[in-house]
């Protein structure tokens, strides 16, 4: 039986991948704190974690891309911060 949305059934994250996911979660969470959102803090954290873990399990290993994808799900723009880094 195969898991929905994931290729191998036994897909898992090693310590390095978990650290990347944690870094992305913390970065996204700090942006949620800065932005006014229409959902509760619990729901925001839950959605961020779900998107980041699913993306990491799918093979994404870039902290910035994981963070951006999670924030997009919550409707939080990442463009302002990205352009200020340039």
**To the nearest whole percent, how much of the chain has pLDDT over 90?**
58
Q: What is the mean pLDDT of residues 16-38?
A: 89
Q: Using CA of residue 13, residue 78, residue 42, residue 47, what is the dihedral sign?
A: negative
- The pTM score is 0.77
| 50-78 confidence digits (pLDDT tens) | 999 999 999 999 999 999 999 999 988 87
52 near 25, Cβ under 8 Å?
yes
CA distances from residue 35 to 22, 24, 65, 79 in whole angstroms, order as listed: 20, 17, 19, 13
């Amino acid at each position: 039986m195969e898991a929905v949305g994931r290729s191998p059934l036994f897909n898992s994250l090693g310590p390095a991948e978990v650290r990347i996911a944690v870094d992305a979660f913390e970065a996204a969470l700090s942006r949620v704190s800065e932005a006014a959102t229409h959902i509760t803090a619990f729901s925001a954290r839950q959605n961020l974690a779900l998107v980041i873990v699913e993306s990491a399990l799918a093979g994404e290993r870039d902290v910035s891309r994981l963070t951006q994808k999670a924030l997009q799900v919550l409707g939080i723009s990442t463009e302002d911060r990205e352009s200020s880094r340039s």
